[in-house]
């Protein structure tokens, strides 16, 4: 198992999750997605990415994939942080303080 590959997979999964939480919205009109490319579909930019420290826990268990485990916890973690900070529960992505 290559630790640098694990680190890169986790960092990129977190970036993908943060994009969904903070920016990425699709708009549908007459059954078609209106965004056509990255000029009108907002994703996380490099300067917005936080530093992510990946810690690999040694194990004797058989190794498995690391491609997606970093994505699912991001939205709930950020939404819970917003709730802890503001008391406002946001339940749609991307998170928008004007939802409530």
Model pTM above 0.85: no
Other CB atoms within 10 A of residue 36 CB: 9
The answer on pLDDT for 100 being more than 90 is no
Give me the domains of the chain, ranges plus CATH numbers: 3-55+70-86 (3.30.365.10)
Rounded Cα distance between 40 and 3, Å, is 35
Confidence of residue 68 (pLDDT cuts 50, 70, 90): confident
Give alpha helix (H) positions in 1-100: 3-22, 74-86
Average pLDDT, the chain: 91
pLDDT tens-digit map of 37-58: 989 999 999 999 999 999 998 8
């Amino acid at each position: 198992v290559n630790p640098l590959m694990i680190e890169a997979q986790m960092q990129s999964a977190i970036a993908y999750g943060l994009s969904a939480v903070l920016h990425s919205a699709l708009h549908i009109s007459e059954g078609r997605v209106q965004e056509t490319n990255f000029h009108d579909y907002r994703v996380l930019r490099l300067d917005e990415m936080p530093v992510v420290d990946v810690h690999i826990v040694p194990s004797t268990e058989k190794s498995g994939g690391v491609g997606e485990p970093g994505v699912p916890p991001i939205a709930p973690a950020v939404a819970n942080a917003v709730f802890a900070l503001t008391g406002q529960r946001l339940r749609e992505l991307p998170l928008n303080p004007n939802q409530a």
